[in-house]
Amino acid sequence: MEKISELQTKRAVNIIWTAAGRHDFTPDFKAYNEAGEADIYWNCIIGAVRLHYDYPQFESIFRAFQEYEDSDTYEGLLWLGLENCVYQHEVKQRPVLSSLREKYARDFLLAYSRNDYYSLYDALATAHYERVLGRERPMSKYDRKLLDELEFSCDMSTEDIVSRAKELFQRWFQICTEERKKQKKRYFLGFKKRENKGKKTRYRKFGIGIADHPDNIYGAGDSSEKRPEALINTRLSAQELRAFMETKFGKPVFNLRETMEIERELCSGSHENCHLLFTKGERIDISQVQNGFEALSRQREAAQIESNKQYYKSNISQNNTSILKLTSKIQNSVLLHLQPSPVKSNSGKINGSLVWRAVTVNDDKVFIKNEQDDMGYLCVDILLDASTSQQNRQETVSSQGYMIAQSLTKCGIPCRVMSFCSMTGYTIMRIFRDYTCPQDNGKIFEYVSNGCNRDGLAISAAHHLINKSSYEHKLLIVLSDVKPNDVIKIRPGISQEPVPYAQQAGITNTAFEVRKARADGISVVCVFTGEDEDLPSAKLVYGRDFARIQSLDKLADTVGMLIQNQIKNL
């Protein structure tokens, strides 16, 4: 996009200054139409926000948005909410805004009338401008709730709007609107922060035109590191929130009564106020999702799934070789450590030293027969960390999960593959393939990162499922970067105050759940997918039973070693 002319930039600034009634500031945001000309309506709104509200309080939220990859979307939505309330104030003094607003609304709806692709901003803005013209656009109930909360009213103070905005963006989008120090390769709630590339003017799509916004105009901030409150203050009822999660992630495997029983067992103590959703990813038809947040999510997920598949295919020869190599290592380990052993039997080869027992004590087991341990007694569960901290590794993690599952399938070892992430207090356990469904290995490429990660609860949930199986030997392989982080706080002790489920508290809880599973006879190992700085966490949680895959061609050696060690200890 070409740079806006200096003349139009000055014109936009003058409109903003006039609407604000002051000239002692440099506007951090300016709007232009499709021709690159200063947009009269929106620049009036931008200036009027400074006139009617304490704008620096909004700046802190805009500053926080800059740390996230989807900052343009969050920024646009907040401006949509501000436009709704400031217009109600300003139109009393400037009646011309009424016709300007209606014209902008008509132009916006015309521009998007033939649009087949809607971003979240497009969907909510379209519905908003329909309301401006006195119409109500068909929407899903979740989009309507979001828009209703976003359209701030004129009777709200600056503090009311700031409070509502912070709660809204944290609840709906799992992002923090508190200012924090920028750190290299730092992640918060699983969302990757934007890289600092220096101060420059950025032009982007805004409504039916464009806007400019200097990158990093706010600086890094000087407040100390903060975390959001763990309390989820949602306007959705418990039933509506569960329905929303099922719409987003898929129909539940267990009915409500069974789910509540599982939650009573697992979602207590350290995981109090948490919920679980076990699903195979069977969702409602995309045609029933109306142009909103979920439609945007589905489009992104479809693109990621295709990317996962193409990534695997691009290295197909190398990957097939690794699968064959890993299969061979597992089979050799079985032959070596599950050797046939002689047992007494009532048939087979007679043992002369035992014949006397048949006559003396009427024991007919005087024969010797070699029996080999049945591999049917062994099952393997693979648990993939699907939090947004894995966003840059989705193709790799899905390929790793598929290759391990395919190797186990070739060995005739039953395996189940699941992923986990958490959102708004729910930990979602997505089951890609079950023990008896080797034909579903391809579904592992549907792995998509999303939200936060409560590792301890996910391992506890996997532990619960594994214990329901009838297999004698049980192995759990966790592919994770070992960075637990969830919005629901954890209480370290009965008399202690809750603390964020992150860093030491999250790691300690995850280690506890791993040891709890091991004490119950489940071998737990980790394939570490994170950065060097998190290696100490992996060692603390999994002890010696973890390994790191540096590249896919090393998968067979790394995972083969882990599985061989576990089979050896059966």
CA distances from 406 to 298, 402, 403 (A): 27, 6, 5
Task: Tell me, yes or no, whether 117 and 182 share the same domain.
Answer: yes
Give the per-residue pLDDT at 267. Answer: 95
Give the per-residue pLDDT at 369. Answer: 64
Which of residues 353, 371, 389 is at a domain's end? Answer: 371
The total domain count for the chain is 3
Task: Tell me, yes or no, whether 175 and 245 share the same domain.
Answer: no
Say if 223 falls within a structural domain: no
Give the per-residue pLDDT at 289. Answer: 53
Task: Tell me, yes or no, whether 189 and 257 share the same domain.
Answer: no
- The parts of the chain modelled with pLDDT lower than 50 are 1, 180-199, 216-233, 290-291
Give the per-residue pLDDT at 189. Answer: 31
Tokens describing residue 264: 């009573």
Rounded CA-CA distance 552/558 in Å is: 10
Task: Tell me, yes or no, whether 165 and 250 share the same domain.
Answer: no
Task: Tell me, yes or no, whether 207 and 261 share the same domain.
Answer: no
Give the per-residue pLDDT at 69. Answer: 66
Give the per-residue pLDDT at 218. Answer: 44
Task: Tell me, yes or no, whether 346 and 284 share the same domain.
Answer: no
Give the per-residue pLDDT at 568. Answer: 78
Task: Tell me, yes or no, whether 289 and 391 share the same domain.
Answer: yes
124-127: list long-range contacts, CB under 8 Å, 24+ apart.
124/77, 124/80, 124/150, 124/292, 125/76, 125/80, 125/207, 126/291
Say if 220 falls within a structural domain: no
pLDDT tens for 46-94 read 999 999 999 999 988 988 887 776 788 888 999 999 999 999 999 988 9
Residues facing 475 on adjacent strands = 380, 523
Say if 526 falls within a structural domain: yes
Say if 233 falls within a structural domain: no
pLDDT tens for 479-514 read 999 999 998 999 877 677 889 999 899 999 999 999
Task: Tell me, yes or no, whether 379 and 363 share the same domain.
Answer: no
Say if 243 falls within a structural domain: yes
Task: Tell me, yes or no, whether 361 and 397 share the same domain.
Answer: no
Task: Tell me, yes or no, whether 291 and 179 share the same domain.
Answer: no
Give the per-residue pLDDT at 506. Answer: 95
Neighbours of 309 (CB within 10 A): 17
Rounded CA-CA distance 419/439 in Å is: 18
* Structural domain that includes position 366: 340-371
Give the per-residue pLDDT at 161. Answer: 95
pLDDT tens for 185-216 read 333 333 334 444 444 566 667 777 777 765 54
Task: Tell me, yes or no, whether 131 and 172 share the same domain.
Answer: yes
Give the per-residue pLDDT at 340. Answer: 53
Residue 197: burial class (beta carbons within 10 Å; 0-12, 13-18, 19+): exposed
Task: Tell me, yes or no, whether 367 and 385 share the same domain.
Answer: no
Give the per-residue pLDDT at 210. Answer: 78
Give the per-residue pLDDT at 112. Answer: 75
Give the per-residue pLDDT at 286. Answer: 55
Say if 491 falls within a structural domain: yes
Which of residues 214, 249, 275 is at a domain's end? Answer: 214
* Model pTM above 0.75: no
